[in-house]
DNA sequence: GTGAAAGCGCTAACAG
DNA sequence: CTGTTAGCGCTTTCAC
């Protein structure tokens, strides 16, 4: 008598377990009266269905797995967790979070564990836009990729629209009168740097601005690297009046370089960046205008897409879909009109 | 024949399902020979035990729940997730992550969902040290509290040693010759501010430094608040030579104030802080010396403690334990000896 | 040391 | 619309 089960409810309500199951799950047909009665007695008895048993029988656990590389390691993409959980809760599913700590062996074990727990599907998430090779283990599981483009299997995926984001950022600077703009680019060969470069160049071109050689410098993703890279730039006679930074950490370094050069932001130098990592963007002085990487939205999209995939996993294979998610600008105080 | 089950393994190995179960789980008695054979055929067939079924029968799912307020919302405590997952993986359990979005109703639903999935226990985590009232729903579940002190139930909990951390930080400044130290304190009445104040005062006292009235100012937790609070302080004749900041964001504001006042860190002003939030501490120039809040370790401790609790949940109730976790100093470049 | 039988709590399939 | 029967895949109990 310890825990109340479906039989107890059935007994108390004077119906069969089947009817209770139908009434509570909404499947099958039950008269409004009995449905109501069942619900009442269930609540009265404090009935909590055992999802293990349900899942075992129905082959649907309403659990999804989230496997990430180091999404938890780095605070940047924290919002994908939030987005995933938000959407999951709304859909009535729960998420098992697992992270590989960048180790293929660990990842295999983790995915296997997820399988053993019979998850309905898996979100394979990266912490920044990259090409991903989906592990074989996932081959027979509904899967979506978040912030990455799968190379070896056609599954739905979402990545930020890198080109648009760069185009918008640079256009914003141009609209403020700037024509000498330097792109403080990431040094790695990743989709983000490729896409943003294209957007950068397109913005210049469409606004009729010459793309001279000195419009681009490289830095790795840290304030220190940004500072070091930007510093010499600002000491030149012909220095740029605006910077488009690859991310907020680099922008922070640019602030420091400006400080060292005795330049005021935004009066002497406008800065726009990418990430909208609030802790940095809000904390800098003046606050940093930045293009948001919409992690929360990506998380939401991923679970919605995954659930759709699970729904018709037996039915027609609909074409895998690619989602280039738009990146809005969050305007703060680091961009000012050019004064001659 | 779709999926291979325990019966298939039993058949192939020429033994009974019972024996397979025993051999794989290590329980019961099985001869080394058969054990080996079972393992081999299991691997050969690619057997993946169904944990749902196992859990249903054995009442042990090897799943634990992590319920947090907004731990995922804020990047600061991201490492507890990492620590929890790390320890969980090592122990062969998996974690269901859920977050309440600060809403009691949502939290109830989430905890109920966790129960339905028959989690073995729950880690109730907060994003900063605070008193917590455990929801009734958790009453009959093994529970530990992370970064909070339960008020209504005696369960194990872990919180940072606020007093020690402050004492160590301030002592560090004193050892560098500073005697005019201002504590840029948090404005909220939370355990952290209380504990750190005690540590601050004890450090002054033990080193024979007078606690004059102007050693403490208040700011809320943002760079802007830090800047605004610190700025007037630095313009006084009798300004402090060192700052102990409540956290890294406030310290960032202090950097900005120093900059505005034309003061160099650490030559003119030493700064030490709390959080060791690496994105900020490493990015500031010069890099910020900070007391680490050991979130990863707290995560590890929480799962280990929880698993112990689950193990002897039927046995003797051992006294609930409180863990004041030590906070190490991470030395960077923001503290220098006082030059007269 | 090994196996047969029972059953965890639920839902699917079908009958009425 | 409701109930009966069977069984999801495993572990437990208990006999051998």
Q: Is residue A54 part of a domain?
A: no
Q: Dig out the tokens for B191 from the structure.
A: 């355990």
Residues of chain A with pLDDT under 50: 1
- Rounded CA separation B226/B186 (Å): 10
Q: Among all residues of chain B, which has the CA nearest to that of A52? A: B52
Q: Are residues A129 and A215 in the same domain?
A: no
Structural domain tally of chain B?
Answer: 3
Provide, as residue numbers in chain A, all residues whose Cβ is less than 8 Å from the Cβ of B56.
Answer: 50, 52-53, 56
Question: How far apart, in Å, are the Cα atoms of B300 and each of B89, B141, B230?
Answer: 11, 19, 37
Q: Are residues A102 and A130 in the same domain?
A: yes
**A308 and A273 in contact (C-beta within 8 Å)?**
no
Strand D nucleotides in reach of protein CB atoms, 7 A cut-off: 1-5, 7-14
CATH of the domain at A74: 3.40.50.2300
The pLDDT tens digits for B274-321 are 999 999 999 999 999 999 999 999 999 999 999 999 987 655 566 679
The pLDDT tens digits for B144-165 are 999 999 999 999 999 999 999 9
B25 in reach of chain A (CB within 8 A) = no
Q: Are residues B277 and B188 in the same domain?
A: yes
Q: Are residues A168 and A288 in the same domain?
A: yes
Q: Check B117 against A224: CB less than 8 A apart.
A: no
**B114 and B67 in contact (C-beta within 8 Å)?**
yes
Q: Is residue B56 part of a domain?
A: no
pLDDT given for residue A312 in this prediction: 78
**Nearest residue (CA) to C1' of D2:** A19
Give, as one character, the DSSP assignment of residue A262: T
pLDDT given for residue A322 in this prediction: 94
Give, as one character, the DSSP assignment of residue A296: H
- B211: pLDDT strictly greater than 90: no
Q: Are residues B140 and B180 in the same domain?
A: no
Provide, as residue numbers in chain A, all residues whose Cβ is less than 8 Å from the Cβ of B76.
Answer: 75
Q: CA of B163 vs C1' of D9, distance in Å?
A: 53
Span B155-182, mean pLDDT? 97
Pairing between β-strand A216-219 and β-strand A181-186 as defined by DSSP bridges: parallel
Pure H helices in B16-77: 17-25, 32-45, 51-58
Closest-CA distance of chain B to residue A225, Å? 10
CB pairs under 8 A between A and B: 147
- Rounded CA separation B256/B263 (Å): 10
Closest-CA distance of chain A to residue B201, Å? 29
Give CA B279 to chain center in angstroms.
17
Q: CA of B53 vs C1' of D13, distance in Å?
A: 18
Provide, as residue numbers in chain B, all residues whose Cβ is less than 8 Å from the Cβ of A97.
Answer: 81, 85, 95-97
pLDDT given for residue A78 in this prediction: 84
The pLDDT tens digits for B98-128 are 988 889 999 999 999 999 999 999 999 998 9
Nearest one of A101, A179, A104 to A137, comparing CA atoms: A104
Domain residues for B264? 162-293
Q: Is residue A331 part of a domain?
A: no
Please state at what angle helix B104-116 crosses helix A78-91, rounded to 10 degrees: 70
Q: Are residues A211 and A286 in the same domain?
A: yes
Q: CA of B19 vs C1' of C5, distance in Å?
A: 14
Q: Check A283 against B253: CB less than 8 A apart.
A: yes
Q: Is residue A254 part of a domain?
A: yes
Provide, as residue numbers in chain A, all residues whose Cβ is less than 8 Å from the Cβ of B81.
Answer: 72, 81, 97
Q: Are residues B193 and B269 in the same domain?
A: yes
- Rounded CA separation B95/B122 (Å): 9
- Cα angle: B299, vertex B301, B304; to 5 degrees: 110
Nearest one of A123, A160, A161, A129 to A145, comparing CA atoms: A123
CATH of the domain at B18: 1.10.260.40
Name which of A87, A117, A219, A265 to mutate to probe chain B: the one with the most chain B Cβ atoms within 10 A of its Cβ.
A117
pLDDT given for residue B72 in this prediction: 52
B252 against B211, higher pLDDT? B252
pLDDT given for residue B2 in this prediction: 61
Residues 62-91 of chain B with CB under 8 A from chain A are 63, 72-76, 78-79, 81-82, 85-86, 89
Q: Are residues A166 and A156 in the same domain?
A: no
Which residues contact residue A226 at a Cβ distance below 8 angstroms, ignoring those fewer than 6 apart? A184, A219, A245, A249, A250, A251, A252, A253, A254, A256, A257
Give CA B207 to chain center in angstroms.
31
The answer to whether the beta carbon of residue B17 comes closer than 7 angstroms to any atom of strand C is yes
- Rounded CA separation B332/B289 (Å): 4
pLDDT given for residue A317 in this prediction: 62
Q: Are residues A71 and A120 in the same domain?
A: yes
Q: Dig out the tokens for B160 from the structure.
A: 């940072």
Strand C nucleotides in reach of protein CB atoms, 7 A cut-off: 1-5, 7-14
- B77: pLDDT strictly greater than 90: no
Residues 235-254 of chain B with CB under 8 A from chain A are 249, 252-253
Q: Are residues B115 and B233 in the same domain?
A: no
The answer to whether the beta carbon of residue B25 comes closer than 7 angstroms to any atom of strand C is no
pLDDT given for residue B213 in this prediction: 65
Q: Check B279 against A249: CB less than 8 A apart.
A: yes
Q: Is residue A56 part of a domain?
A: no
**A120 and A330 in contact (C-beta within 8 Å)?**
no
**B152 and B143 in contact (C-beta within 8 Å)?**
no
pLDDT given for residue B317 in this prediction: 62
Q: CA of B285 vs C1' of C8, distance in Å?
A: 61
Q: Are residues B289 and B306 in the same domain?
A: no
Give, as one character, the DSSP assignment of residue B139: T
Backbone Cα Rg of chain A = 26
Nearest CB to B117 within list A52, A56, A227: A52
Q: Are residues A311 and A280 in the same domain?
A: no
The pLDDT tens digits for A7-37 are 999 989 999 999 999 999 887 678 888 899 9
pLDDT given for residue A1 in this prediction: 47
- B22: pLDDT strictly greater than 70: yes
Which residues contact residue B236 at a Cβ distance below 8 angstroms, ignoring those fewer than 6 apart? none
Closest-CA distance of chain A to residue B49, Å? 6
Beta bridge partners of A132: A150
Collapsing DSSP states into helix, strand and coil, what is residue B46? coil
- Rounded CA separation B3/B45 (Å): 10
Q: Is residue B333 part of a domain?
A: no
The pLDDT tens digits for B25-75 are 887 678 888 999 999 999 999 999 999 999 999 999 999 999 998 755 577
B51: nt with nearest C1' to CA:
D10
């Amino acid at each position: 008598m310890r825990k109340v089960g479906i039989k107890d409810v059935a007994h108390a309500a004077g119906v069969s377990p089947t009817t209770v199951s139908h009434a509570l799950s909404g499947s099958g047909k039950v008269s409004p009266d009995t449905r109501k009665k069942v619900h009442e007695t269930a609540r009265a008895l404090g009935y909590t269905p055992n999802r293990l048993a349900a899942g075992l029988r129905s082959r649907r656990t309403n659990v999804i797995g989230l496997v990430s590389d180091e999404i938890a390691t780095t605070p940047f993409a924290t919002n994908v967790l939030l987005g995933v959980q938000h959407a999951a809760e709304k859909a009535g599913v729960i998420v098992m979070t697992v992270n590989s700590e960048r180790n293929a062996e660990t990842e295999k074990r983790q995915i296997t564990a997820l399988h053993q727990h019979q998850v309905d599907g898996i979100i394979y998430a990266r912490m920044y836009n990259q090409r991903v090779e989906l592990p074989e283990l996932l081959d027979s599981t509904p899967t979506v990729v978040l912030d990455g483009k799968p190379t070896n299997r056609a599954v739905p995926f979402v990545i930020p629209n890198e080109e648009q984001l760069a185009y918008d950022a640079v256009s914003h600077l141009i609209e403020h009168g700037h024509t000498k703009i330097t792109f403080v680019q990431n040094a790695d060969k990743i989709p983000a740097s490729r896409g943003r470069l294209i957007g950068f160049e397109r913005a210049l071109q469409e606004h009729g601005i010459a793309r001279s050689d000195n419009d681009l410098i490289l830095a790795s993703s840290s304030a220190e690297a940004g500072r070091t890279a930007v510093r010499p730039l600002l000491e030149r006679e012909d220095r740029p009046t605006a910077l488009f930074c690859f991310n907020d950490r680099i922008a922070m370094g640019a602030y420091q370089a400006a400080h060292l050069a005795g330049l005021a932001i935004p009066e002497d130098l406008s800065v726009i960046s990418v990430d909208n990592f609030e802790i940095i963007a809000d904390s800098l002085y003046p606050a940093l205008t930045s293009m948001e990487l919409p992690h929360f939205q990506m998380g939401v999209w991923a679970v919605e897409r995954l659930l759709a995939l699970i729904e018709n996993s037996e039915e027609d294979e609909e074409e895998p879909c690619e989602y280039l998610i738009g990146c809005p600008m969050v305007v703060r105080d680091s961009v000012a009109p050019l004064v001659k």
